[in-house]
Structure 1
Amino acid sequence: MTTPEATAVRRGRRRDAEENRDRILLAARTLLVTDPGASMDDVARAAGVVRRTVYGHFPNRDALLAGLADMAAADMLAALSRVDRTTLDPSVALAEFSMTIWTAGDQYRLLMTLAECEYGTAGLRDLLAPIRAQAMELLVRGRDAGRFATHLPLPVLSATMQAITLSLLQAVNDGLWTDDGVRAARAVLVAAGLPPGEADEAIAQALIAHH
């Protein structure tokens, strides 16, 4: 027969294990953005746990990278879900979408870093698929409304905007510039076909929705 005390002990151990796992992932996220080659020992030191604890949750580096990628993608989707863009003008919705991506830039930069190491570009494409689907929906709305350019097929336009965002985030990583998301959103909107003046108007309205 299980006693209440034993049940409480098991729950406490599970909670401690979950907290350790989260601590390891957060430490690894911070570490790998600046040092993609960091070892499992490096991660353990950054998390303030012993190596055995890290391996207890992630038996190898691939498992750790997969856990990080899943966490980053989930955080990105959670951030994107906080605003209802269906009621916004397509250009305003795309501006807000872009600024949300930028605000969650730590996760996006992490995904980019993982794509350049063992996790690979195929895994990145899978993780970004739900985010890419939301961007595609906004592009379809904007093109149907006559707001966005038609010179590129929609999948190509979507890929172009994603590449612009990743390049701008990498520029931040490289110390080439800083941005609060406004200039990045302008670059995305202009790439979608909006004149700069209209892009600035859309961003001004998106800032209201974003906050």
Structure 2
Amino acid sequence: MLDAAVRLLAERPDAGIAAIAAAAGLTRQTVYAHFGSRDALLDAVVDRITDQAMAAMDEAEEESGSALDALLRLQDIGWRLFERNPVLLRPGNTRAGTDTDLARHEPVAARLTRLIEKGQASGEFDPAPPATWLVAAVTALGHAAGDEVRADRLPVTEAAAWLRTATLALLGAGPGNPTP
């Protein structure tokens, strides 16, 4: 059921329960028996997509390279995720700021903290700002980029490029400060 929902919502982010049920070969009643509302189903879909993203991030982090390379790979994974799953960028389809949403961000924040601390220790990133502050700022930049896509002010590829540029500048790893 969730796999069908993920596939259908990737194509039609506004698909309703009836369409999702049909895509899964089920009745609406069956879907409602598992998920009491579309919001509950969307939460489960976002959880599934988050699990897939975390698995991709685990794989990407295992690759060798600098902290900067790893951080940029993680950002690329995030943007590919949004491109494949536009339901994540629809207003109201995810409940940003809720306890559930914050819990989804915790493993990503922990990963970013490790990478930023590694980059600060190696001299790739400015060592002055606290890593936790940089994580919050990078996360806020990511949300701002997502908001621009959601509002149709930037296409995904352009938002991703500006996010990368802003992240490099924030970390002190921009073109003017080449990494070792």
TM score, norm. by length of structure 1: 0.67
Q: What aligned pairs does 1:14-93 form with structure 2 within 5 A after superposition?
A: 20-28=1-9, 42-48=16-22, 50-61=27-38, 63-85=40-62, 87-93=64-70
SS at match of 2:124: coil
Closer, same or farther in 2 for the Cα pair 1:94/1:22, shift >3 Å? closer
Percent identical residues: 24
Closer, same or farther in 2 for the Cα pair 1:99/1:87, shift >3 Å? same
Whether the 8 Å CA contact 1:140–1:154 is kept in 2: the answer is: yes
For residue 95 of structure 2, the aligned residue among 115, 137, 143 is 115
Q: CA RMSD in A?
A: 3.0
Residue 186 (str. 1) matches residue 165 (str. 2): yes
For residue 139 of structure 1, the aligned residue among 116, 119, 140 is 116
Whether the 8 Å CA contact 1:21–1:57 is kept in 2: the answer is: no
TM score, norm. by length of structure 2: 0.77
Q: CA deviation at 1:157?
A: 0.9
Whether the 8 Å CA contact 2:125–2:172 is kept in 1: the answer is: yes
Q: Name the CA distance, whole Å, in 2 between partners of 1:66 and 1:104.
A: 16
Q: CA deviation at 1:82?
A: 2.9
Paired residue type of 1:172: V
Quick check: 143-152 or 84-93, which moved more?
Answer: 84-93
Number of residue pairs aligned between Structure 1 and Structure 2? 172
Structure of larger gyration radius:
1
Q: CA deviation at 1:71?
A: 0.7
Q: CA deviation at 1:29?
A: 6.1
Aligned to 2:153: 176
Q: CA deviation at 1:126?
A: 0.6
Q: What aligned pairs does 1:156-175 form with structure 2 within 5 A after superposition?
A: 156-175=133-152
SS at match of 2:73: helix
Question: Larger helix proportion, structure 1 or 2?
Answer: 1
Aligned to 2:127: 150
Post-superposition Cα deviations, 1:110-140, rounded to whole Å, max 9, x if no partner, equal: 2884124xxx522111111111111111101
Q: Name the CA distance, whole Å, in 2 between partners of 1:47 and 1:196.
A: 50
Structure 2: gaps spanning 5 or more residues: none
Closer, same or farther in 2 for the Cα pair 1:24/1:185, shift >3 Å? same
Whether the 8 Å CA contact 1:109–1:166 is kept in 2: the answer is: no
Q: Name the CA distance, whole Å, in 1 between partners of 2:65 and 2:55.
A: 19
SS at match of 2:110: helix
SS at match of 2:123: coil
Q: Name the CA distance, whole Å, in 2 between partners of 1:28 and 1:86.
A: 31
Structure 1: gaps spanning 5 or more residues: 1-19, 203-211
